[in-house]
Amino acid sequence: MTKSDSSNEWLDTVAHDLRTPINLVYGCLDVIQSLGPLNEKQLHYLDRAFAGLKRMEHLIARLRDISWVDSTVPLELTEINLSDLIAEAVDLLLESAEQQNVKVRTNLTLNIETIRVDAARLAQVMDNLLSNAIKYNRQGGTVLIHAVQENDSVVVMVQDTGIGIAKDDQPHVFDRFFRAPEGVRLKIEGSGLGLAITQGIVQRHGGRIWVESELNVGSSFYFSLPLIVTDKTDAV
């Protein structure tokens, strides 16, 4: 067993073992809710407890994703319509965008009808990039999703008018557990794993991902995928 395999097994074990105490706490909170009317202060603490559990579940999911990125588990390649996948990602996050008064626009100029990818993993890439573009944006900001075919590749851009990333921090945005100081200062929640996972998924498809950003102006994240995808399990 390699060092990487050992690490993946450890991550899977930790993620699995955390499920039992989390489910136990959920059960206890459900019992508390059922005991009778709660006052405002009690409801406040109950809401905080549920929110904390949700964050734990999110982190567990991230740990499982990191384990998958490092593994040799093959991609589940299927033919999909990329425009439809992007539209579905937008629909899922429209409520979040509306809550922050962020407008999401798309500009898709694709000459191909389908592309062969792991649909669930590519949806995860879009969700990560789009949710970040909304989360790190400004009230009343915009997000633009642009997709175009370039020779034998498809290039997708997710651009925002948010807080941006300092030049010195840009080489580290795909590092595991890295969080840009500006996001931390503004107390924007994050695990520091989303972009690392996103990069891993793109690389497993034989593609690449990069960022262009200016502090206090906004960021543009790009990823390219070959039209003919082969699983690159040794790319990450």
Give me the pLDDT at residue 1, please: 44
The answer on 59 and 152 residing in a single domain is no
Give the N- to C-terminal CA distance of the chain in Å, as an integer.
18
Least confident of 30-34, 162-166, 201-205: 30-34
The answer on 158 and 46 residing in a single domain is no
Residue with the two structure tokens 């899977």:
12
The domain tally of the chain equals 2
User: What percent of the chain lies above the pLDDT cut of 90?
Assistant: 54
Give me the pLDDT at residue 140, please: 94
The answer on 19 and 132 residing in a single domain is no
The answer on 130 and 166 residing in a single domain is yes
The answer on 51 and 144 residing in a single domain is no
Q: Assess contact for 217 and 164: CB atoms under 8 A.
A: yes
CATH code, domain with 132: 3.30.565.10
The answer on 120 and 52 residing in a single domain is no
Q: Residue 6's pLDDT band (boundaries 50, 70, 90)?
A: low
Over range 208-222, report the average pLDDT.
Answer: 97
Helix (H) or strand (E) holding 204: helix 194-204
Domain hosting residue 44, numbered range? 3-70
Whole-angstrom distance, CA of residue 163 vs CA of residue 176? 21
**What pLDDT, in 10s, does the model give residues 33-68?**
888 788 888 888 888 898 888 888 878 888 888 888
SS3 string, 139-157, reads: CCCEEEEEEEEECCEEEEE
The answer on 66 and 145 residing in a single domain is no
The answer on 37 and 136 residing in a single domain is no
Q: Assess contact for 185 and 165: CB atoms under 8 A.
A: no
Does the CA dihedral 105-213-210-119 come out positive or negative?
Answer: negative
Residue 233 domain-assigned? no
Boundary-marking domain end, from 70, 87, 103: 70
The answer on 82 and 65 residing in a single domain is no
The answer on 151 and 35 residing in a single domain is no
Give me the pLDDT at residue 95, please: 93
**What pLDDT, in 10s, does the model give residues 80-113?**
999 999 999 999 999 999 999 999 999 988 877 7
The answer on 156 and 55 residing in a single domain is no
Closest CA relative to residue 136, chosen from 87, 191, 66, 184 = 184
Residue 115 domain-assigned? yes
Q: Assess contact for 229 and 80: CB atoms under 8 A.
A: no
Give me the pLDDT at residue 97, please: 95
The answer on 55 and 87 residing in a single domain is no
Give me the pLDDT at residue 5, please: 53
